[in-house]
């Protein structure tokens, strides 16, 4: 993870670099730094802590330069100190480098370079890159050749941007970590992700593994690592900068929770027709999954919960399906063959664990699909097919709107898969489900308008632990409710299948452990019994269910959701739970958009 920004153009680069770093802070916020190129050579400024710390330090000693690179870090090698912050330079400070990824052979390279007299000032793997480049410069290579030669020596994953003293050029290379180029008349950008420069341009080129981009004042040259020219056409992104900003909200997370009616409308637009009961997923016509006899979902964290949601809908429809944690896949992947469909669910499309599972599935001959939010992401390029969830940029580290869009798109994709597995044109009459789906954005709107989440967060503030239970499709929602809660409040929270409570976790239940019970309309009477079992042991029960539901008669508190198809009710409940987590974290004054130790895009295994 980590975020990279680069800028080449007229006028000063520093404001653009700092804005870009702020826009990328969701990728890591342990330290930040910039390097700019001016008449006097390269000037580097870096600080541990958030971008604001860097800005404060620059205010005291302004930096100037038309060309610059910047970095915001999520630490892997070495603690978050000033020394370990990027950019890193060689000992002459003629080469500055920012890097995202892991250099697997850095220890070997560092030993060799040390033997040749190079002195290192940080614990990072990155620092070997400027020293390697310097080594080749010392051998009389030109800047570009030294850059290429150094990159060739790297093993592992990287997105790298390099500047040389005295040259208004940025050299960049990508292998396994994302890198995009932004193009706007006579200004050019380089970044880990599009929101970094979205306020300046919507014209982007997604680099592929093995690509090199040489960004100069009069244009960008794309080549492979050997220097052969390659064609990379710019694409227009349809995210507007407004969407990527916080607007009137205190936090991106709250904004993104409130964006769910819009993001879901975008997700389903043109893809469903409730009148005819038809689903039209671009690129997935009837028969796409002919011959498939089983489905495996691979994903991590919140995306895993969405994957579990998708997998359960398939299982309920009679299709053999399982959801697997991508980080466990390398050691416990069930067998696959050409009749197995493996679906990678990943908001960012860059999660290393998920990519590794996807690659393993492909190598073993499975058909693969990526369900993602990011056009051109690695997972999308590596899978046979991609289904976009169209949620728009999600900046808050805690995933919210992407979860609901993932779950909905997996529900729709599940219908296509089920029909194909059964050898039918479509699965029965889908009109009722699709009508409910069409109503969902309005239903979420009404949840958002009337939610008692803030009062409930206040009521149970300071509890010892928070439990979330659900059955069937309510189970992934319970898991997601607990993940969100622990992630942003730092309080202990656990999600359980309702029926599992009595098999052990009930021992933890006390009057100080509120239990949030999710009711989706399937075997609710059993979930109600499980909730009562907790209540009998003194735990307050908060029922997440429609008005008039039997659970409201016994519950200590109620989070209301509209009546909905049982395939979708859990997603309405999830919105309530997102709000509870948000308000609970706000009461505790947590840094909601950037929880400690986390980052949005986890590009290490
Ligand atoms: C939690 C969260 C993470 C991600 C996980 C996978 O709120 O956001 O658990 O869901 O790191 O990320 P993606 O979906 O990008 O593969």
- What the block records as the tokens of 191 is 């970044």
d(CA 32, CA 596): 16
Q: Please classify residue 79 by burial: count the beta carbons closer than 10 Å to its beta carbon, then call 0-12 exposed, 13-18 middle and 19+ buried.
A: exposed
Give me the percent of the chain exceeding a pLDDT of 70: 99
Average pLDDT value for residue range 577-603: 93
Ligand 1 closest atom vs CA 600: 8
Per-residue pLDDT band at 242 (split at 50, 70, 90): low
Query: Is the Cβ atom of 602 under 6 angstroms away from ligand 1?
Result: yes
Give me the percent of the chain exceeding a pLDDT of 90: 85
Residue 484 designated active-site: no
Query: Is the Cβ atom of 346 under 6 angstroms away from ligand 1?
Result: yes
Residues of the chain with CATH 3.60.20.10: 3-237
121 C-alpha to center of ligand 1: Å?
A: 33
335 C-alpha to center of ligand 1: Å?
A: 25
Is CATH 3.60.20.10 what the domain over 3-237 is classified as, yes or no? yes
Query: Is the Cβ atom of 300 under 6 angstroms away from ligand 1?
Result: yes
Is CATH 3.40.50.10490 what the domain over 246-448 is classified as, yes or no? yes
Query: Is the Cβ atom of 351 under 6 angstroms away from ligand 1?
Result: yes
Ligand 1 closest atom vs CA 379: 16
Provide the pairing of β-strand 541-545 with 321-325.
unpaired
Ligand 1 site-directed mutation target among 372, 399, 585, 601, most atoms within 8 Å of CB: 399
351 C-alpha to center of ligand 1: Å?
A: 8
- Residue 243 has a pLDDT of 67
- Residue 393 has a pLDDT of 85
d(CA 398, CA 221): 37
Sequence-separated (6 or more) residues with CB below 8 Å from residue 553 = none
Q: State pTM to two decimals.
A: 0.82
Sequence-separated (6 or more) residues with CB below 8 Å from residue 249 = 255, 258
Is CATH 3.40.50.10490 what the domain over 451-587 is classified as, yes or no? yes
- Residue 241 has a pLDDT of 67
**pLDDT tens profile 274-300:** 999 999 998 899 999 999 999 999 999
Query: Is the Cβ atom of 303 under 6 angstroms away from ligand 1?
Result: yes
Provide the pairing of β-strand 278-279 with 272-273.
antiparallel
Distances (CA, A) of 212 to 174, 209, 225: 7, 9, 6
Query: Is the Cβ atom of 243 under 6 angstroms away from ligand 1?
Result: no
Query: Is the Cβ atom of 370 under 6 angstroms away from ligand 1?
Result: no
Is the peptide bond prior to 87 cis by the omega test (within 30 degrees of 0)?
A: yes
Residue 300 designated active-site: no
- Residue 123 has a pLDDT of 92
pLDDT at 316 over 90: yes
Ligand 1 site-directed mutation target among 383, 602, 604, most atoms within 8 Å of CB: 602
- Residue 578 has a pLDDT of 98
Q: Is the CB of residue 24 less than 8 Å from the CB of residue 192?
A: yes
**Which residue, judged by its Cα, is nearest atom 8 of ligand 1?**
399
Residues of the chain with CATH 3.40.50.10490: 246-448, 451-587
398 C-alpha to center of ligand 1: Å?
A: 8
- Residue 389 has a pLDDT of 94
- Residue 97 has a pLDDT of 98
d(CA 564, CA 376): 34
**Nearest in space to 232 (alpha carbons), one of 224, 242, 222, 240:** 222
Per-residue pLDDT band at 39 (split at 50, 70, 90): confident
Average pLDDT value for residue range 70-81: 87
115 C-alpha to center of ligand 1: Å?
A: 41
- Residue 292 has a pLDDT of 97
Question: Dmax over Cα atoms in the chain, in whole Å?
Answer: 81
**Nearest in space to 288 (alpha carbons), one of 157, 423, 112, 95:** 423
Query: Is the Cβ atom of 396 under 6 angstroms away from ligand 1?
Result: no
Average pLDDT value for residue range 254-277: 94
Q: Count Cβ atoms below 10 Å from residue 280 Cβ, excluding itself.
A: 12
pLDDT at 222 over 80: yes
**Which residue, judged by its Cα, is nearest atom 11 of ligand 1?**
301
d(CA 375, CA 326): 21
């Amino acid at each position: 993870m980590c975020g990279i920004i680069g800028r080449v153009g007229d006028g000063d680069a520093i404001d653009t670099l700092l804005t870009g770093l702020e826009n990328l802070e969701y990728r890591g916020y342990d330290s930040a730094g910039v390097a700019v190129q001016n008449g006097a050579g390269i000037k580097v400024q870096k600080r541990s802590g958030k971008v604001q710390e860097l800005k404060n330090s620059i205010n005291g000693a302004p930096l100037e330069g038309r060309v610059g690179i910047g970095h915001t870090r999520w630490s892997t090698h070495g603690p978050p100190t000033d020394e370990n912050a990027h950019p890193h330079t060689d000992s002459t400070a003629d080469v500055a480098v920012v890097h995202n990824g892991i250099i697997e052979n850095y220890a070997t390279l560092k030993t060799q370079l040390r033997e040749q007299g190079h002195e290192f000032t940080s614990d990072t793997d990155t620092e070997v890159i400027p020293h390697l480049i310097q080594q080749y410069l010392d051998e009389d290579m030109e800047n570009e050749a030294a850059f290429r030669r150094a990159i060739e020596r790297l093993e592992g994953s990287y997105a790298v941007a390099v500047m040389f003293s005295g040259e208004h050029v940025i050299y960049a290379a990508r292998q396994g970590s994302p890198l995009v180029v932004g193009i706007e008349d006579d200004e050019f950008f380089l970044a880990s992700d599009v929101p970094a420069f979205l306020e300046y341009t919507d014209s982007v080129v997604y680099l592929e593994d093995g690509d090199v981009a040489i960004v100069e004042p009069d244009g960008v040259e794309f080549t492979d690592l050997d220097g052969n020219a390659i064609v990379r056409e710019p694409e227009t992104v349809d995210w507007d900068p407004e969407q990527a900003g916080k607007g009137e909200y205190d936090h991106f997370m709250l904004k993104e929770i409130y964006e769910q009616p819009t993001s879901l409308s975008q997700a389903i637009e043109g893809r469903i027709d409730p009148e005819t009961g038809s689903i039209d997923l671009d690129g997935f016509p009837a028969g796409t999954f002919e011959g498939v006899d089983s489905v495996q979902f691979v994903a991590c964290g919140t995306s895993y919960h969405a994957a579990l949601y998708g997998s359960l809908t398939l299982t309920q429809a009679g299709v053999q399906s399982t959801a697997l944690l991508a980080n466990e896949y390398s050691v416990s992947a069930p067998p696959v063959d050409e009749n197995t469909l493996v679906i990678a669910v990943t908001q960012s499309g860059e999660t290393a664990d998920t990519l590794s599972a996807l690659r393993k599935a492909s190598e073993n001959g499975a058909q693969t699909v990526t369900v993602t939010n990011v056009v051109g992401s690695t997972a999308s390029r590596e899978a046979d097919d991609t289904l976009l969830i169209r949620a728009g940029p999600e900046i808050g580290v805690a995933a919210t709107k992407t979860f609901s869009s993932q779950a909905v798109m997996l529900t729709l994709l599940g219908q296509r898969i089920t029909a194909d597995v059964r050898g039918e044109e479509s699965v029965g009459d889908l009109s009722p489900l699709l009508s409910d789906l069409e109503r969902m954005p309005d239903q979420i709107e009404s949840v958002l308008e009337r939610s008692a989440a803030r009062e409930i967060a206040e009521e149970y503030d300071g509890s010892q632990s928070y439990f979330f239970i659900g059955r069937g499709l309510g189970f992934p929602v319970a898991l997601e409710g607990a993940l969100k809660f622990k992630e942003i409040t730092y309080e202990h929270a656990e999600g359980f299948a309702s029926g599992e409570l009595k098999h052990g976790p009930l021992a933890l239940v006390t009057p100080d452990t509120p239990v949030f019970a999710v009711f989706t309309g399937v075997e609710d009477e059993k979930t109600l019994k499980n909730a009562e079992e907790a209540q009998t042991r003194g735990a307050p029960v908060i029922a997440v269910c429609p008005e008039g539901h039997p659970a409201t008669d016994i519950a200590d508190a109620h989070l209301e959701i509209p009546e909905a198809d049982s395939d979708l009710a859990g997603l309405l409940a999830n919105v309530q739970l997102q709000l509870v987590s948000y308000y609970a974290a706000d009461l505790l004054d947590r840094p909601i958009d950037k929880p400690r130790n986390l980052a949005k895009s986890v590009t290490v295994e």
